[in-house]
Structure 1
Amino acid sequence: MTVAANAPEHGVQEPPEPDLTPAEIIARAEAIAPALVDRQEETERRTFYAPDTHEAFREAGFYRILVPRRYGGYEFGMETFLRVSMVLARACPSTGWMYSLGHAHALAVATLFGERAQAELFGAGDFICPATVGPSGTATYGPDGGWVLNGTWNYCSGAPYASHFLGHTLVSPRDGLPPMPMMFVVPRDQWRRLDDWGRQLGLRGSGSHSIAIEDGRVPEHFTLPTHLSQIDITTGTPGRVLHGNPEYGGGPLSFMLLNSAAIVVGMAQGALDAYEELMTGRTTVFPPIVPRVQDPDYQYWYGEASGMIAAAEAALLHAIRQWRETCAEGPAAFTRERDVRLATISREAARLCWRAVEGHLFPTAGSSAVRQGERVERVWRDMSTLHSHAGFAIFLSTLANRELARARFGLG
């Protein structure tokens, strides 16, 4: 990711480690990962990752990866962020999900909001901002300007350590037209986290709690009259101009869904890691009794799953490259057709990973390996829960196909 040429002139602060590189921050994730594997059960009980894990992420710079350089961030870009997310999800799916969906929306804020809003929202450097796309609650325009928000927003992954929240609500235009979506970012002091997560089938430690706002006040420059999934960026974005960085002008829809796919690929890689341990540490059930690694059937099941997961990772990484290259082409290149087409790649990557885990690793791992709390069982639960995520279950399975065809054939 290219650092904006005008950052020194307007910079607010330097990042804590100005010479840190993308390779070094990915290596830090890989160094932290083994401890996350050992703490998965603890994370599920707590419903979010531990305070000392949060502090380790903060010290490693994970909450600044997508924050613009001029605001004390590292501005490392999409690929670095998704690689870190994949490493963490491979170790602990809940931790990877919570971290990734907590920090991802720094890119949306840096892309879509104006300079005044960004300077205030990124003022602390670290940025953790869960988001929901389902409109909820109410917003009324205050007499002194700005909006007053009330309501509850569910599934806010990353809420426990969040500095902000990005949500949607419906507002009625002053000319009497039907209600329209409004996107807003609200600071932490204007909302509270509810204790309502942890009883789901999977992702129990993902910190996906609800957020309640009671008479929360949001200045107008923290709002946009749109929905995050429907933004047209072909005429340019405030972030591209402000930071001189093409990646702050990319399609937010495809980025969000490729982000989810990166977590799924990481989950599947973690299941494969666990299966490898079973291959070398356990024997076959039926004669000849030999180590599983020497058995042709287990070799076949491992090879099938490994190939699917590798193909999913390859598709994801190539889609990331396409996303970056499209950004570099200029605003007009990132049409709705391209945005949705890239999003559908995330669907296929997720499907490959699910086929590998559900069709090969889970059923052949053995009943003792899929007891509650075992690593393969946990990944199966977490990936099963992912099937209920609106992005995959609703948008990518139906709406995206129709929208891509309409865009391709100019049907409006």
Structure 2
Amino acid sequence: MTVVTRVADRAPASPPEPGLTPEDVVARAEAIASALVARQAETEERTYYAEDTHRRFAEAGFYRLLVPRRYGGYEFGVDTFMRVSTALARGCPSTGWMYLFGAAHALAVATLFPEPAQAELFAGGDFICPATVAPAGKAERTEGGWVLDGVWNYCSGAPYATHFLGHTLVPAREGEPPAPMLFVVSRDQWRRLDDWGQQLGLRGSGSHSISIENAFVPDHLTLGAHLSQVTVTGGTPGLALHANPQYGGGPLSFMLLELGALAVGMAQGALDAYEDLMRSRTTTFFPIVSRTEDPDYQFRYGEASAMIATAEAAMTDAVRQWRETCERGPSAFTRERELRLATISREVVRLCWRAVEGHLFPTAGSSSVRQGERIERVWRDMSTLHSHAGLAVFLSSLANRELARARFGVG
């Protein structure tokens, strides 16, 4: 006789280190990040971070930070996740980018999907799930689900991924345009294309394309919505299941705050490199003294340092606001609230970019901005960050107009 155990009856799993604390994982990230600095060139050449780095991340618990505890995760707050991501980006922007966009979507899955889907998706404990927002491919309806075919570009985190979260368009009611559908597929249903590494920056971010051919996706692993348009004000499956307010928060604002966390880490890395130059180089013009003694270099360092510190403070407070909005309940996460939080991230990126592009890069010296130098790499990586659709398209223009419409009740 076969005994069937219902998912709801299963005992909650335990994470590998039940006593692990947020402070522990942040300290681990900072320690690992220091070793990433010297490996940036090889990461770019490979187009993703190394296998041994991946193992260290897994052993450190990084791929379980946002996974619910009932599935063997640590269920730490988004503030811990952002601090880990910032620390890694400080050591290597590509590595921080690849890690964040692979691990972040545990939050969306734990928030939006019902319990049977979550039990299936989180069964492996570690959860690495790149996502794209641009609908692609095609989906054909079949019994119990959909058959997917197509190619999805810019899937940061693909090399070590356990899953992929994407969007496609499906037929709507007669006379209406196609509607977006969100779906999640496991690693055995897609292949990674070798098409990353020739971009200006973030060459080691593992942002390869993913190809899906004739893959069946059951209905319980799909949602009839676009991730950026999901409304949580009526409650979420994750909040009801886990009784943790962070699984009732707004997906859009969380996704866009990620860009701010990465920008802060990148800019901090550039400031680290500039400080090394201050200590090791002299001025070009007379009087020839250590840069640390020169008033102009002192000014530039202080100006950039203040900008980056302000950006970090704004990022920290935005995450605090996000968490406190969660604690007030789903009804507090209005579209206006989401957009206000998201636009803070935009200003964080702008401050970091002004510090790097306006003060650190142009005064570091020509020999310090040759290809492969740390400040040159940060400049390239932050330039490429500006091509991300969330920043270049949504936050730069659409968010402003939508925020105003939400505030004034204009349809």
TM-score by length of 2: 0.97
1:233 corresponding residue in structure 2? 232
1:122 corresponding residue in structure 2? 122
Residues 8/167 of structure 1: CA separation in 2 closer, same or farther (3 Å cut): closer
1:181 corresponding residue in structure 2? 180
2:390 corresponding residue in structure 1? 391
2:244 corresponding residue in structure 1? 245
Matches within 5 A, 1:18-29: 18-29=18-29
2:43 corresponding residue in structure 1? 43
2:66 corresponding residue in structure 1? 66
Q: Distance in 1 between matches of 2:91 and 2:218?
A: 39
1:4 corresponding residue in structure 2? none
Deviation at 1:31, TM superposition (A): 1.2
Percentage identity across paired residues of the two chains: 74
Are 2:131 and 1:146 equivalent residues in the alignment? no
SS of equivalent residue, structure 1 residue 15: coil
Deviation at 1:33, TM superposition (A): 1.1
Residues 320/10 of structure 1: CA separation in 2 closer, same or farther (3 Å cut): farther
Q: Does the CA-based 8 Å contact 1:102-1:158 persist in structure 2?
A: yes
1:330 corresponding residue in structure 2? 329
Deviation at 1:13, TM superposition (A): 1.3
Q: Does the CA-based 8 Å contact 1:10-1:70 persist in structure 2?
A: no
Q: Does the CA-based 8 Å contact 1:8-1:70 persist in structure 2?
A: no
Residues 299/9 of structure 1: CA separation in 2 closer, same or farther (3 Å cut): farther
RMSD (CA atoms):
1.2
1:262 corresponding residue in structure 2? 261
Q: Does the CA-based 8 Å contact 1:301-1:360 persist in structure 2?
A: yes
Q: Distance in 1 between matches of 2:309 and 2:239?
A: 33
Residues 309/137 of structure 1: CA separation in 2 closer, same or farther (3 Å cut): same
Q: Distance in 2 between matches of 1:377 and 1:10?
A: 52
2:356 corresponding residue in structure 1? 357
Residues 200-255 of structure 1: CA deviation (Å, up to 9, x unaligned): 00000000000000001111000000000001100000000000000001111110
Q: Distance in 2 between matches of 1:54 and 1:265?
A: 22
Residue type matched to 2:362 in 1? P
Residues 215/8 of structure 1: CA separation in 2 closer, same or farther (3 Å cut): closer
Q: Distance in 2 between matches of 1:181 and 1:292?
A: 55
1:271 corresponding residue in structure 2? 270
Deviation at 1:175, TM superposition (A): 4.1
Residue type matched to 1:33 in 2? A
Q: Distance in 1 between matches of 2:337 and 2:175?
A: 34
Residues 6-29 of structure 1: CA deviation (Å, up to 9, x unaligned): x99854411000110000011111
Q: Distance in 1 between matches of 2:100 and 2:286?
A: 45
Deviation at 1:298, TM superposition (A): 0.1
TM-score by length of 1: 0.97
SS of equivalent residue, structure 1 residue 153: strand
2:113 corresponding residue in structure 1? 113
Are 2:347 and 1:309 equivalent residues in the alignment? no
- Consecutive unaligned residues of structure 2, counting only runs of 5 or more, are 1-6
Q: Distance in 1 between matches of 2:11 and 2:314?
A: 37
Residue type matched to 1:320 in 2? V
Q: Distance in 1 between matches of 2:238 and 2:319?
A: 19
Q: Distance in 2 between matches of 1:136 and 1:410?
A: 32
Matches within 5 A, 1:366-405: 366-405=365-404
Q: Does the CA-based 8 Å contact 1:117-1:222 persist in structure 2?
A: yes
1:98 corresponding residue in structure 2? 98
Q: Distance in 1 between matches of 2:221 and 2:173?
A: 19
Residue type matched to 1:173 in 2? A
SS of equivalent residue, structure 1 residue 392: helix
2:281 corresponding residue in structure 1? 282
Q: Distance in 2 between matches of 1:235 and 1:11?
A: 28
Residues 81-125 of structure 1: CA deviation (Å, up to 9, x unaligned): 000000000000000000000000000000000000000000000
Q: Distance in 2 between matches of 1:22 and 1:55?
A: 19
Q: Distance in 1 between matches of 2:175 and 2:137?
A: 19
2:131 corresponding residue in structure 1? 131
Q: Distance in 2 between matches of 1:292 and 1:174?
A: 67
